């Protein structure tokens, strides 16, 4: 631990990991809820277009919004890690956050021991939010598929 690193007990790591995870969940669910309104508006805008164009525009817009939500969360994790002085450089914090959030976990950049439990919450956040995103996209595509394919 460097002198500038904020020491965190396991209790603190569990608490603050849960807080950041909860904030990310609220961001994700809030953006998905807003997305429903936006997609309804987009759907009305492309209503009289071809089925292929409607599907492409609606699913594409949903995809961009979902990727934006995940990106915001990765940046949030990186900002928190920088603020807690777990990393000295934005690049390292952002890289670690992205690799952890996506559960790729290369292991080439690791947290100091006193942040590892906290950092694991980044992976939990990614798993949960990717699950919600997948369910959202599957539901949307099921709505868009023509009934003749049933």
Q: Among 6, 2, 10, which residue's Cα sits nearest to residue 117?
A: 10
Q: What is the pLDDT of residues 66-114, one digit of tens each?
A: 999 999 999 999 999 999 999 999 999 999 999 999 999 898 999 998 9
How far CA 129 is from CA of 17, 33, 42, 58, 123, in Å, comes to 15, 14, 24, 20, 10
Q: What's the pLDDT score for residue 57?
A: 86
Annotation: CATH topology of 10-144: Helix Hairpins (1.10.287)
Domain ranges of the chain: 10-144
Global pTM reads 0.86
Q: What's the pLDDT score for residue 22?
A: 97
How far CA 30 is from CA of 56, 66, 73, 119, 125, in Å, comes to 23, 11, 12, 23, 15
């Amino acid at each position: 631990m460097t002198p500038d690193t904020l020491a965190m007990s396991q209790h603190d790591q569990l608490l603050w990991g849960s807080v950041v995870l909860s904030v990310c969940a609220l961001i994700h669910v809030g953006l998905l809820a807003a997305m429903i309104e936006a997609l309804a508006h987009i759907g009305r805008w492309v209503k009289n277009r071809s089925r292929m164009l409607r599907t492409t525009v609606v699913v594409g817009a949903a995809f961009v919004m979902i990727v934006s939500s995940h990106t915001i969360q990765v940046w949030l994790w990186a900002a928190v890690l920088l603020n807690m002085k777990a990393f000295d450089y934005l690049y390292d914090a952002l890289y670690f956050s992205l690799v952890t959030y996506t559960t790729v976990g290369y292991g080439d950049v690791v947290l100091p021991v006193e942040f590892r439990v906290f950092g694991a919450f980044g992976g939990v956040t990614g798993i949960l939010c990717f699950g919600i995103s997948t369910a959202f996209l599957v539901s949307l595509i099921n709505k868009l598929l023509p009934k003749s394919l049933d």
